[in-house]
Amino acid sequence: MGKFQYETKKPSIVFYISAPLVALFVLWGAISPRSLEAFSATALASTLNNFGWFYMLSTAFFIAFVLFLAISPFGRMRLGKPHERPEYKFYTWLGMLFSAGIGVGFVFWGVAEPALYFLDPHPDYLGQPDEVKAAAGLRYAVFHWALHPWAIFSLVALTLAYVQFRKDQPALISSAFQPLLGDKIKGPFGKGIDILAVLATSTGVATTFGLSALQITGGLSHLTGTIPNNATTQLVVIAVVTVLFIFSAATGVNKGIRILSTINLTIASILLIFMIIMGPTLFIAESIVTTIGGYIANVTQMSLDLNPFGGGEWLGIYTIFFWAWHISWAPFMGIFIARISRGRTIREFVAGVLIVPSLLAAIWFTAFGGTALRMIMDGNERIGNLVMENVEVALFVTLGELPLGIIMSILAVGLIIIFFITSADSASYVLAALTSDGSLDPQLKVKVIWGFLIAGTASVLLLSGGLTGLQTASIIAALPFAIIMVVMIFSLLMMMSRDVQVEQKRKKHQRTKEIKKEVQIDVYDKMKENVYDEMKEEVYEQVKEEVYDDLKEEVYEEFKEKIYDDLRDDLEEQLDGELDTPTNKTKDNSNPNKND
């Protein structure tokens, strides 16, 4: 059980609008995949031509903003009430971050990307020596998976965690706009924002479903030699994993996702250590240092490079696709990361969600991609050909060239399957939360419905265009949400600035009270010391007179009582003497013979 309890709510109007829209999209793709493919191609061209610059500029801005929050006074603020502490241990938390879905990207593209960028280089590196192209390939692979994606996720997650756990708002994208829209977030405008978030999320998650299915099918085909690597097998894989995810979803975040995430991170660590030890260890170590250095030195130029004189086709196929894919994932990753990050400070959050994954991305892509590049440059043409034709098989072919490669390939397939399950589980959880008025404990049936809808979306995208169809859908669906994210920055700044001002005023008031108290005590001590001697005699005489009067009165009463008693005793003795004398005389006179 987790530390925090959350309310279960019924599906909202957002569910009843967005779910049918996704279902209609699935139906369209199932009935007329060619029509969907043609429409997507037209929409993709329009998006890249008119908004490629916006994707590049906005993602660079997101990095700058998130880093600013971490190093500014805002960094000390906690994503929750001041007394709350993190719900999950750091290792578990990190595992859940990767298993939420981004881990699928690491495994799918780890070998393929650096090799792709070596064989199909950025226009700036055409005609360059192989060593230069290889270094650039590693650098661009890290570029696509380090700071940029995690800054996108961090921005949405930070905003949602802040409004949920500090402002007690529901877990909805529209909640982030309360400072700008006020109560309008509860009306049609707010619902529209949430519907756009749901549509972007379902497309982004479907892309990951498709990538997972592609790689699982490719891996099984490579390992067995009998299972065909085709659309039918991919659809069967999606169907099987969808059933498996339902069992995980039924157990909730604190059991299913948490346990599977820990297993995932452990298997991924084993694979990475294996690659470093069994691969060209020294070459990998040198490449990691060189790649990180090159990335840091060139990240600004790469972030703002649109290659306007070259047409920008390469960027559209690779860089802008990744930015759009990550943005389409942002609502999903944002809500999920916010849910598992309650109680952490903003500075700790940024370190865990931005810096650590970026370093792991550099190590992962350099280890796997660098090993594949070394093999290609040493004459292994098979890997190069497969990367260009069947990118999903690249990982397994590379592992097969190393000792224990078959065992590691089986382990990799298991890792992808578990990643697939946790991605489906996490995605259905988030979409259910978005369509249940922000409930962080949505109904199981709503999660299951979204699981089937995402699986259907992935299936029709694969049928209508394969990997290209998945990429196209992400780029188009992400555009509206990218605009929402830019506005979200200003809303978050408004909220945090107000809270900082309130906190500063509260601290100032508290400090003022403390200073007043200290001054009062100090002044009292000094006045007491100065006035003591002056008032001593006066107070002494006054006290002396008061004591004297009190004593005098007490002593007088005592003496008076004593004198009264003594006087009474004396009088009684005298009276007794006078009474005794006549009696004796009478007795003497009554005896006449006494003198005789």
Q: Provide DSSP, 320-338.
A: HHHHHHHHHHHHHHHHHHH
Give residue 272's pLDDT band: very low, low, confident or very high (50, 70, 90): very high
Catalogue the E-assigned strands of 292-434: none
* DSSP tally for the chain: helices H, then strands E: 19, 0
Burial 478-513 (b: 16+ CB within 10 A, else e): bbbbbebbeebbebbeebbeeeeeeeeeeeeeeeee
Share of the chain above pLDDT 90, in %: 20
- For the record, the structure tokens of 577 come out as 């003497």
Q: What's the pLDDT at 427? A: 78
pLDDT digits (tens, 9 = 90+) for 496-552: 888 888 878 887 888 888 787 777 776 666 666 666 666 666 666 676 677 667 666
Residue 1's pLDDT band (boundaries 50, 70, 90)?
A: very low
**Percent of the residues in the chain that have a pLDDT greater than 70, as a whole number:** 84
DSSP assignment of 11-63: --HHHHHHHHHHHHHHHHHHH-HHHHHHHHHHHHHHHHHHHHHHHHHHHHHHH
pLDDT, residue 85, reads 84
pLDDT digits (tens, 9 = 90+) for 41-64: 788 778 877 888 898 999 999 999
Task: Give the per-residue pLDDT at 286.
Answer: 94
Higher pLDDT pick, 272 / 500: 272
Determine the length of the chain.
596
SS3 content of the chain, % helix, strand, coil (to 5): 85, 0, 15
Q: Is 2 helix (H, G, I), strand (E, B) or coil?
A: coil
582, pLDDT greater than 80 = no
Residue 7 has pLDDT above 80, yes or no: no
HSE value, Cβ hemisphere, 13 Å, CA-based, for 49: 6
Q: CA 97, CA 336: separation in Å to the nearest integer?
A: 8
For 452, counting Cβ atoms within 10 Å of its Cβ (0-12 exposed, 13-18 middle, 19+ buried), the class is middle
Q: What is the mean pLDDT of residues 63-78?
A: 91
Give tens-digit pLDDT for 394-404.
Answer: 888 899 899 88
- Give the mean model confidence (pLDDT) for residues 320-342: 84
Q: What is the pLDDT of residue 276?
A: 93
Its pTM stands at 0.77
Distance CA 69, CA 155 (A): 10
- Cβ-based neighbour number of residue 101 at 10 Å: 28
Q: Which two tokens stand for residue 57?
A: 């500029």
Task: Give Cα 466 distance to the centre of its chain.
Answer: 32
Q: Report whether pLDDT(144) > 70.
A: yes
**pLDDT tens, residue by residue, 471-508:** 677 777 788 889 999 999 999 999 888 888 887 888 78
Q: What is the mean pLDDT of residues 267-290?
A: 92
Residue 271 near residue 415, CB atoms below 8 Å: yes
Residue 586, pLDDT score: 46
Average confidence (pLDDT) over 244-259: 65
Task: Return phi, psi of residue 341, to 5°.
Answer: -110, 10
